[in-house]
Amino acid sequence: MIRLATAADTALVQELSRAFDPAGDFHPDATLLADEDGIIALRREGVVDVLYVRPEARGRGIGRELVRAAAEWARQQGVERLELVVPEGRTEALHLVERLGFAPVERRLAAPVAALASRRADGPSFGCVHVQTDDVEKVRRDALKVLRVLHAEPEIEAGGGWVRVRSDATDADPERLKALAQELSYTSASVVLALGVERGAVVRYNLFDRGADVDEYLSVPEFYGELPPGDVYAMGANATVVARLTGADPHRVREAARTAATPGELPPAQDLYAQIAEVMGVKA
């Protein structure tokens, strides 16, 4: 039998509501019970906060009867439609409410506040590849081979024991920049650095040794989304590796290649990019 809950049912209502959502904080205008086997709680505007039937009581039509009773109560309040939210991944619950006559009317999306805050900036991406060699012509030939498929020409500049390579095809595409750096590290059998700014907000570098990606840094590790703690840590600069491969002072590497939760906690990306380039001895 479906009935309106009373003050005497408080303990039962709390038990069934917590079984539906242990973290829920519900303040419905009406709560209907199917004896002790099920509950539906809704607000006057027609929003269903709780719809739950004990597992051992399912398959007997209790859910349908609860919805029918709630619809009658809502009709008396002048409400034309009942609405409820099914959390993503609750496939069984979704199938149940669809069988009861509910259908999607909108899709509600969510994202962590920290991730959204870190994505506010949307400026330009740019970067260069730096090959640790004095064989400028070999770097030019190898870069031409890699960039030919992109119909791009490399710009080559030597200085300080490094050969700097940039192109329009890789300047604004971090993945292509990284791919170019890795290929040049293979072909030159040397240390290669890909260093750039992404979306005007964060700085990334990848350091390759004979084709192997030995160190990766991103100034805001979770700029593109939440990461496991180990991955967040891994996106910080490894000053020891950088020092060994580039000759940079490890103390200065730690000072320059800082990480933070949001871009606003760091110097402007362009400034941070220039600082890291200076520490590693390459031209920004």
- 127 with 247, same domain: the answer is yes
- 91 with 175, same domain: the answer is no
When pLDDT is cut at 50, 70 and 90, the band that residue 44 belongs to is very high
- 6 with 46, same domain: the answer is yes
What 3-state class would DSSP assign to 121?
A: coil
Are 38 and 68 in contact by the 8 Å Cβ rule? The answer is no
Q: Is the residue at 115 inside a domain?
A: no
Are 29 and 43 in contact by the 8 Å Cβ rule? The answer is yes
Are 156 and 140 in contact by the 8 Å Cβ rule? The answer is yes
Does the pLDDT at position 247 exceed 60? yes
Domain that holds residue 216: 121-280
- 133 with 247, same domain: the answer is yes
When pLDDT is cut at 50, 70 and 90, the band that residue 13 belongs to is very high
Predicted local confidence at residue 225, as pLDDT: 87
CATH value at residue 59:
3.40.630.30
- 268 with 136, same domain: the answer is yes
Under DSSP, the state recorded for 245 is H
Predicted local confidence at residue 20, as pLDDT: 87
Cβ-based neighbours of 196, under 8 Å, separated by 6 or more: 125, 126, 127, 128, 174, 177, 203, 204, 205, 273
- 58 with 199, same domain: the answer is no
Summarised one tens digit per residue, pLDDT across range 200-230 is: 999 999 999 999 999 999 999 999 888 999 9
Q: Is the residue at 271 inside a domain?
A: yes
d(CA 38, CA 49): 13
Region 125-153: what's the mean pLDDT? 94
Predicted local confidence at residue 271, as pLDDT: 96
Predicted local confidence at residue 59, as pLDDT: 87
In terms of Cβ atoms closer than 10 Å to its own Cβ (0-12, 13-18, 19+), residue 54 is middle
Of 76, 18, 74, 66, the closest CA to residue 40 belongs to 66
Beta bridge mates, 166: 155
- 86 with 27, same domain: the answer is yes
Predicted local confidence at residue 244, as pLDDT: 96
When pLDDT is cut at 50, 70 and 90, the band that residue 6 belongs to is very high
Summarised one tens digit per residue, pLDDT across range 91-126 is: 777 888 888 888 888 878 887 776 666 555 578 999
Dig out the tokens for 168 from the structure: 């329009």
Q: How many domains in the chain?
A: 2
- 131 with 259, same domain: the answer is yes
Q: Is the residue at 110 inside a domain?
A: no
When pLDDT is cut at 50, 70 and 90, the band that residue 50 belongs to is very high
When pLDDT is cut at 50, 70 and 90, the band that residue 173 belongs to is very high
Dig out the tokens for 113 from the structure: 């506040």
Of 183, 283, 280, 282, the closest CA to residue 241 belongs to 280
Of 184, 258, 112, 266, the closest CA to residue 193 belongs to 184
Backbone angles phi, psi at 221, to 5 degrees: -55, -35
Q: Is the residue at 114 inside a domain?
A: no
pTM to 2 decimal places: 0.59
Region 122-147: what's the mean pLDDT? 94
- 196 with 276, same domain: the answer is yes
Predicted local confidence at residue 115, as pLDDT: 61
- 142 with 276, same domain: the answer is yes
- 136 with 242, same domain: the answer is yes
Domain termination site, one of 38, 67, 99: 99
When pLDDT is cut at 50, 70 and 90, the band that residue 22 belongs to is confident
DSSP per position, 152-200: ---EEEEETTEEEEE-HHHHT-HHHHHHHHHHHHHHHTSEEEEEEEETT
Indicate the average pLDDT of the chain: 91
Least confident of 54-58, 85-89, 195-199, 269-273: 85-89
Q: Is the residue at 33 inside a domain?
A: yes
d(CA 257, CA 254): 6
Does the pLDDT at position 261 exceed 70? yes
Order of all β-strands in the sheet with 2-4:
2-4, 30-34, 38-42, 47-53, 83-84
- 190 with 222, same domain: the answer is yes
Q: Is the residue at 141 inside a domain?
A: yes
Long-range Cβ contact pairs of 60-69 (< 8 A, separation 24 or more): 62/34, 62/37, 62/38, 63/38, 63/96, 63/100, 64/100, 65/2, 65/34, 66/2, 66/32, 66/34, 66/38, 66/39, 66/40, 67/40, 67/100, 67/101, 68/2, 69/2, 69/32, 69/40
Q: Is the residue at 59 inside a domain?
A: yes
Predicted local confidence at residue 121, as pLDDT: 57
Q: Is the residue at 74 inside a domain?
A: yes
